[in-house]
Amino acid sequence: MLFVKNLHRPFLISCCALLVLFNSPLSQAQQLPPFSDWSEKNFLGKNRYQFSQVDGQHQVRVDSDKSASGLFLEKTVDLNKTPILSWSWKISNVLSAVSERSKKGDDFAVRIYVLASTGPFPWQKHTLAYVWSNYQQVGESWKNPYTDKVIMLALNSGEALANTWQRHRRNVQDDLFAAFGVKYEQIEVLAIMTDTDNSLKKTTGWYKNISFEEN
């Protein structure tokens, strides 16, 4: 179990990458499948998922109690056509008194992974993780403590905006280039993850209205 715990973040991305050869591309801007159709991967304990639809928007509530699991979608997205990832998220609370740049503190109320690749081998794959940081400044980025193949980017920080929906639109192609110096033509995997297994705390994250759009 300790082995799984220490490897669960990069393992999530690796598991997703194994299936990307059979994905169908998104040719136009469109909503992604509802979260209830995404695949669940548990790493330590099990988060509680509540799927709903409000005003035509699919959303998911994720309750995490000393646990770590994620939902992932294998879908090829052409970043030359639809580079903009749009979504909204919300948190109940941040995880205070944790060092996010260490393995013991690598927990977040909400995070979204995008995996890009230039080939089939592990060293050709990189992942960007958008997070609601516990205390890093908005716009701050850093290497994931488990692997330098993953870069973290803080889009929200602290509890000042907790319990309010925050909408984001990010040019994924530009963000990947800023993180890794490579212009990726497509992404292959999208994942969400709420986790508290390292901090042994509790939090709730919500995600909704996620799509890729034209610039």
Is the confidence at residue 13, as pLDDT, over 70?
Answer: no
- For residue 115, the enclosing domain spans 2-213
The tens digit of pLDDT for each residue in 84-112 reads: 999 999 999 999 877 899 998 899 999 99
Q: What local confidence, expressed as pLDDT, does residue 186 receive?
A: 94
Alpha carbons 22 and 189: distance in angstroms, whole number: 12
More confident residue, 61 or 32: 61
> Span 68-83, mean pLDDT?
95
Structure tokens at 109: 């109320």
56: phi then psi, degrees, rounded to nearest 5: 80, 5
Q: What local confidence, expressed as pLDDT, does residue 136 receive?
A: 94
Rg of the chain's alpha carbons, rounded to an integer?
Answer: 16
Provide long-range contacts, Cβ within 8 A and 24+ apart, for 158-163: 158/94, 158/133, 158/134, 159/91, 159/93, 159/94, 162/90, 162/91, 162/92, 162/93, 162/94, 163/90, 163/91, 163/92
CA angle 67, 87, 102 (to 5 degrees): 40
Query: Is residue 9 a contact partner of residue 146, using CB atoms and an 8 Å limit?
Result: yes
Q: What local confidence, expressed as pLDDT, does residue 121 receive?
A: 86
Cβ contacts of 70 within 8 Å, gap of 6 or more: 12, 40, 41, 43, 113, 191, 192, 193, 194, 195
Structure-token match 């060293």, residue found: 123
The tens digit of pLDDT for each residue in 150-187 reads: 999 999 999 999 999 999 999 999 999 999 999 999 99
pTM, to two decimals: 0.87
Q: What local confidence, expressed as pLDDT, does residue 5 receive?
A: 38
Domain CATH number, residue 183: 2.60.120.260
Alpha carbons 150 and 112: distance in angstroms, whole number: 12
Is the confidence at residue 4, as pLDDT, over 50?
Answer: no
Q: What local confidence, expressed as pLDDT, does residue 16 receive?
A: 47
Q: What local confidence, expressed as pLDDT, does residue 9 receive?
A: 53
Alpha carbons 25 and 27: distance in angstroms, whole number: 6
Residue 12 pLDDT grade (very low, low, confident, very high; cuts 50, 70, 90): low
Residue 28 pLDDT grade (very low, low, confident, very high; cuts 50, 70, 90): low
The total number of structural domains that make up the chain: 1
Alpha carbons 99 and 181: distance in angstroms, whole number: 27
Q: What local confidence, expressed as pLDDT, does residue 149 receive?
A: 95
Q: What percent of the chain has pLDDT over 90?
A: 75
**Is residue 10 helix, strand or coil?**
helix
Query: Is residue 78 a contact partner of residue 27, using CB atoms and an 8 Å limit?
Result: yes
Residue 89, strand partner residues: 166, 207
